[in-house]
Structure 1
């Protein structure tokens, strides 16, 4: 299978080249030349996430140097559960936060890291994995790539716009992982990363690749949990699963759309956004218009210019009306996020992002929709204790893996929201400068790993 750029100005690439490059040479995002079609019977006899993933992704890797290792890659990457939990008689929760950094980003990041480790490289120089994060992606990528030889990670995150625990995670790895706190928004971080990846001269001197959802190696594995959940639902009910998906940069939502287009038993898809209304406005009929990102309680979705919109339009061949028919996006403001967390705290703790999905689900029920819906839980509420605990009026238990990260020291370097500033930093002979490093102590002690 070959992959092409969403912008049409780059040569077709193999899956290895697309994963290694991250971004196409023309600045576009890689998409398959055509999505394969797989019927439900294709998955007969497979139950576990690694097995479903191997069968789902095999057509994308057929004939590649990674094909013989695909089963091992999936087994390595998907070694934690993704359960579906009943919330009430018509609502279920697909929990994607049981990985090492307590966020759904672990699934794509671990798959990408395993792929990168299996890719043959003729260039003996270190490869830099550049990632912009609005909160959860950076930690997942750091955990997945930490300690892997020949690879280093550079994380850009908006200073002051992620939770304290998210920021601590981003800077707690050390070694081959570097955290840069950017004086700007996530959109600034994303722009800087794209500029660096598109800079041919810079890439000649410092080989770069991406680990954002712009990376094909991150997006392909995100289809796998929708495939498994939809197959489980079909086998139990003989009906298609309906999904409410929190989304900011549109990667998680697009993965569900791709899985549905491949033939998985997925019914309606609703996208839940925070007060950043770029996607809700488009799906409501407005022309697509990137906006300045605004800060919300659901900070990981504070995106005003979602990169994967290019892939959405590519899926529907540039036809905006067909793209709008694919789903629906709705905005949820901070007041409603807090209300959902508080009302449900006695029986289920939502992170602020998952709360947006729950609110959209409630609105549909109020409008008379009696169908069964599965909302997608993207992060553990313990990552957002400062948001969740005051509204839930109780402490949020901290998963052991997250507690271990919070017990480490953390540090991050300041960075201007400027493309040239990042370029200069990447070209430095040594990136381990200590003169301007922000250092923080552990924010979770050994004795309080189940409380705030």
Structure 2
């Protein structure tokens, strides 16, 4: 039997960690992101071509968990997390092209898959270590609701969500504040990059961690990123079984977690072909892939707000995967799509094809429209349901967008969020003060 896979930091200081430690910690102690010592290579024959998404996930992820505490429970974890489908459906107006729909979960966004997997892992880790844990989440719109839905009422876990005040859609903001109980939403007077910086600072604060143990459920957490590989693997394996060729993907991206999941599936030997990334008017990635030095910058607000990221955290993992710039630029291409083009794309497909897409998916549809006529099998990744972005989509269409039942249930609850200034110290004070309140309630 081979040795269990261990994990180290992208910054090279922390090494030799187990997968349960990695999931529990979220961020490495040196401030880097956890990665495996090496990506495992997989055999197509190991997968059941007729298996469920949960079956694919369990087979795909077992090399990452084998020999560790959660390995025996991985099939059950996947069965709990992957209870809804990620259908791959043809796009009739683009012969040979398809759409991977990732918005059929509780919060109507792709983040549901990883958040539910992570929550299922934490339930089992909590049995081994019953100390209370606080999950910190920085969200540009979708991550927070998925994490809140996954962890709501889970014993031993408090969830604290930071989002940029006024820079998420009204329905996204409502989702973030509608849970209560063990879930608290904080509306930060800044941008997503501020929220992300504040979360990383708290996770790296050893004194704070000693008083209030913290972890993360952003895609900086490997426990969030790994399960996102499952829907790419499942779609690619099904496609390969039926068509005997790889499947190409166009992935909308902001913080690079969803894109990296797709690329890792390809690096592990599964039949993923070309990968193209689409961004909004935040051009950090598109400029880099066009040949400019990687230059993080302040995010700008766009219609595709969940991708409003100027300093994508997972770029560290991308560089670990492809250490040389020239090789990375050969492996991946990225394209920026401005707000005017997002509007035009939504309107065009609604009028001509009776298809309605969220602003993020529209960036990928625009790229597919540019590739029309290409003989390759392209799949657009649909990251969220358009009803989450009613303030953008409905004025364009001049009509309401039907709301999925799970989203409607969230919108029927009351919602509230607490204001917070965009500083590391403000979050630290809030965590310490609220931690004292929790302890007082437990003692009474």
TM tier, smaller: over 0.9
Equivalent residue in structure 2 for 1:337, among 334, 339, 342: 342
Q: Which residue is equivalent to 1:252?
A: 258
Task: Measure the CA separation in 2 of the matches of 1:272 and 1:215.
Answer: 23
Match of 2:175 in 1: 169
Matches within 5 A, 1:15-34: 15-34=19-38
Alignment counterpart, residue 357 of structure 2, candidates 344, 350, 358? 350
Structure 2 CA distance for aligned equivalents of residues 45 and 103 of structure 1: 26
Asked if the contact 1:5–1:12 (Cα under 8 Å) also holds between the matched residues in 2, the reply is no
Contact 2:212–2:435 (8 Å) recurs in 1: no
| Contact 1:82/1:96 (<8 A) preserved | yes
Query: Structure 1 residue 392: deviation in Å?
Result: 2.3
Shift in CA distance, 431/289, structure 1 to aligned 2, threshold 3 Å: farther
Q: 73, 83, 91: which is aligned to 1:79?
A: 83
Asked if the contact 1:195–1:419 (Cα under 8 Å) also holds between the matched residues in 2, the reply is yes
* 1:39 counterpart = 2:43: yes
Aligned-residue offset at 1:361:
1.1
Instruction: Kindly report which structure 2 residues correspond to 1:211-250, keeping only aligned pairs within 5 A, or say none.
Output: 211-250=217-256
1:202 to 1:432, Cα distance in 2 relative to 1, 3 A: closer
Q: Does structure 1 residue 66 correspond to structure 2 residue 70?
A: yes
User: 1:44 offset after TM fit, Å?
Assistant: 3.4
**Unaligned stretches of 5+ in structure 1?**
434-452
Aligned to 2:375: 370
Instruction: Give TM-score, length-normalised by structure 2.
Output: 0.95
Which of 402, 407, 415 lines up with 1:402 in the alignment?
407
Whether 1:90 aligns to 2:92 is no
Helix, strand or coil for the counterpart of 1:154?
A: strand
| Whole-angstrom CA distance in 2 between matches of 1:7 and 1:272 | 27
- Where structure 2 has 5 or more consecutive residues not aligned to the other structure, the ranges are 439-444
Name the residue aligned to 2:441.
Answer: none
1:47, 1:394 → 2: CA distance?
Answer: 39
| TM-score normalised by length of structure 1 | 0.93
- The one of 114, 119, 134 aligned to 2:140: 134
- 8 Å CA contact 2:6–2:18 kept in 1: the answer is yes
Measured in 2, the distance between the counterparts of 1:85 and 1:203 equals 45
Q: What is residue 201 of structure 1 aligned with on the other side?
A: 207
Q: Deviations along 1:288-345, whole A, 9 cap, x unmatched?
A: 00011000000000000000000000012x2111111111000000001011111111
Change (3 A) 1:120 1:179: closer
Deviations 1:39-67 (A, max 9, x none): 21121355210000000000000011111
Say which of 107, 111, 119 aligns to 1:113.
119
